[in-house]
Each structure stands twice: as C-alpha cells, then as structure tokens.
C-alpha cells in the first residue's frame, strides 16, 4: 500500500517537509514538471511557494507547448509567459518539445498505441511531478495523472490524447472530440507510458500535489475562476494514483463536513460531469498505481 504524506501547511516549509518524508534522494539532473499557467490564469503555483524547493534540488522547470490556441503554443511565447509568471526568476525553464518529440510505447492501452512526449524529457536523471490540484473544464480535475499525461506530451501528443488516438493535429482535434470516457482513459494510458519509460531507464519520479487556490477550472484557462473552497494542504507519494485519490477523497470529505458549502458542490459537479473520477479505477486497472493508500499527516 502506498503512503501519501500530507501537510496542511501550504508554505515552502510544508513543501520541503512532504518531499523529505518520502525518503528519496533525487539524483543527477532533476526535472520538475509544473504548469506555467496560461496568460491570464490565477491559480498556477507561485514562485514564492515552490521556488525554494526547486532551487534546493537545482531543478529545471519542465513544460511542453499547448495544443489549444493561446499564449503558450510556441516556445518563444511560452517562455515569455513563464517569465511573466515568475518561473524564470528561480530556475531554468525547458520547453521540452521546442525542437521535437519522441514516441514511447503505451502498454495495455485500448485507445493509444503510443505517447508523444517532449524530446528533452530524456535529458534528465530524475523527476518531480509537481502538480496544482484543482478542477478542469475537460478532465474534471487535474493533479498528478494529468500533469504526467497531457503535461509531458508534446503539442501533437496532447492532440493525440485528447482525440483518444484518432488525431495528432492541434488544429483539427477540437472539432471532432471522442466520447468523454475515452479521453479520460487515454490520459491514464499516457501517464502509464511515461511511468514505464522512466522505469525502463532506471530513473526515478516522485509525485507532489499542492491543493491550494482550488477552482473549478484549470491553470490552462485564461479566464480561470476564483477558488471555490479553502486550501487543503500538500500531499506527496511515490504513487500518482494514490496521490490523486487522496486529493479526491479530501474534496469529498470536505463536502461531507460542510454540506452547505456551495463552492465544493460546484467542484464536485465539475469533476463528475466530466467523469473525472473515472481516471482512477482505470489507471489502477492498467497498472499506473493503486488507489488504496495510507495517509500520513506530518
């Protein structure tokens, strides 16, 4: 059973503590996958919160360009937004698909034959999947699994996942989207491909989700709404499924404890309208991780 370490302290010190609780030393060149946030978004992880942690690892921020039209569709524009949002103030930012992509296999998938990830992903020796846990207008919610699938995919890879394996074109994919469940399952398959790719190279990845500024929409939304519920804390695990399950469980527990809270109801509705929770049993079934976990508060 995976352990999920939890702190209620959404501070640089809290972030450092959950990392240290994992008991893992990340070796070599460390890549930190985090969303830089769309221009106009408000909820992305801020420099004053994550900067000290990333600097302690001498880490590089990892991102890929977006498939949807916006301010991060090209490397030049993406780096500009990353600078405006403070990421270049504490680390180098590597737009991994700036010069291309690599194809990695998807095992046990029923939608995807492969995954397309940023070419520079392989330049790192170990990884931190540092997610901002919140709602998402297409995926229901976004945390570690989404950060590992859509987040690490190249522009063409993002289109391929969104189309459930039918298209690699960022220009046309949005006009012919698949059944929602097929998209949700495709994200899990892409996350598995990345996990398998990392294991095959004998490298290591850890998973951290910051549960703050929790809105119903994603940091990729330039019109992102305001937070709808209080901050919950920070969780860390070696298992992305367990970590995502812990986030969902905490949201549902908050709703049970505060039955009149309209904000958390809106978040739950967003998650379930988009079949967001369905990623968890499917990811478990194909071997990404386990939903059962031990929560260890620190």
pLDDT tens per residue across span 144-198: 999 999 999 999 999 999 999 999 999 899 998 999 999 999 999 999 999 999 9
pLDDT at 274 over 90: yes
CATH architecture, domain defined by 2-297: 3-Layer(aba) Sandwich (3.40)
Nearest CA to 215 out of 229, 232, 202 is that of 229
pTM over 0.85: yes
Cα(26)–Cα(110) distance, integer angstroms: 33
pLDDT at 65 over 90: yes
In the sheet where 293-297 sits, what is the strand order?
93-95, 60-63, 30-33, 126-132, 204-211, 233-237, 2-7, 293-297
Domain spans, the chain:
2-297
What is the pLDDT, as a whole number, of residue 86? 95
How sure is the predictor about 58, in pLDDT bands with cuts at 50, 70 and 90?
A: very high
pLDDT at 92 over 90: yes
Nearest CA to 264 out of 211, 219, 221, 223 is that of 211
Cα(251)–Cα(246) distance, integer angstroms: 9
3-state class (DSSP) for residue 235: strand
Cα(138)–Cα(136) distance, integer angstroms: 6
Torsion of CA 107, 64, 174, 156, to 10 degrees: -60
The long-range contacts involving 23-29, CB below 8 angstroms and separated by at least 24 positions, are 24/204, 24/206, 24/238, 26/57, 26/126, 26/127, 26/128, 26/204, 26/206, 27/125, 27/126, 27/204, 28/124, 28/125, 28/126, 29/60, 29/123, 29/124, 29/125, 29/126
What is the pLDDT, as a whole number, of residue 149? 98
Structure-block tokens of residue 225? 């709404």
How sure is the predictor about 255, in pLDDT bands with cuts at 50, 70 and 90?
A: very high
pLDDT tens per residue across span 104-156: 999 989 999 999 999 999 999 999 999 999 999 999 999 999 999 999 999 99
Give, in degrees to the nearest 5, the angle at Cα 74 between 73 and 78: 85
Q: How far apart are the first and last CA of the chain?
A: 18
Percent of the chain with pLDDT over 90: 91
Please give the mean pLDDT across all residues of the chain: 96
pLDDT at 287 over 80: yes
Cα(153)–Cα(297) distance, integer angstroms: 32
What is the pLDDT, as a whole number, of residue 105? 98
């Amino acid at each position: 059973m995976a352990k999920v370490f939890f702190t209620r302290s959404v501070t640089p010190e809290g972030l450092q503590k959950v990392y240290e609780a994992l008991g893992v030393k990340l070796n070599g060149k460390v890549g930190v996958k985090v969303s830089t946030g769309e221009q106009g978004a408000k909820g992305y992880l801020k420099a004053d919160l994550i900067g000290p942690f990333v600097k302690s690892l001498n880490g590089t921020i990892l991102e890929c360009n977006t498939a949807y039209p916006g301010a991060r569709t090209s490397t030049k524009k993406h780096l500009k937004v990353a600078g405006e949002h403070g990421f270049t103030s504490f680390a180098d930012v590597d737009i991994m698909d700036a010069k291309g992509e690599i194809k990695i296999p998807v095992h046990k998938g029923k939608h995807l034959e492969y995954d397309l990830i940023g070419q520079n992903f392989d330049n790192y020796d170990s990884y931190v999947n540092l997610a901002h846990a919140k709602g998402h207008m297409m995926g229901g919610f976004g945390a570690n699994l989404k950060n590992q699938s859509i987040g690490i995919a190249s522009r063409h890879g993002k289109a391929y996942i969104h189309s459930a394996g039918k298209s690699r074109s960022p220009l046309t994919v949005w006009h012919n989207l698949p059944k929602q469940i097929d998209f949700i399952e495709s994200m899990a398959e892409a996350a598995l491909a990345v996990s398998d790719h990392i294991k095959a190279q004998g490298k290591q990845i850890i998973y951290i989700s910051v549960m703050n500024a929790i809105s119903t929409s994603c940091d990729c939304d330039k019109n992102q709404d305001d937070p709808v519920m209080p901050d919950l804390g920070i969780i860390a695990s070696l298992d992305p499924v367990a970590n995502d399950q812990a986030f969902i469980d905490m949201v549902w527990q908050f709703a049970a404890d505060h039955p009149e809270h309209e904000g958390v109801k809106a978040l739950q509705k967003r998650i379930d309208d988009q079949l967001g929770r369905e990623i968890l049993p499917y990811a478990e079934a194909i071997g990404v991780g386990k939903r059962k976990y031990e929560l260890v508060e620190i």
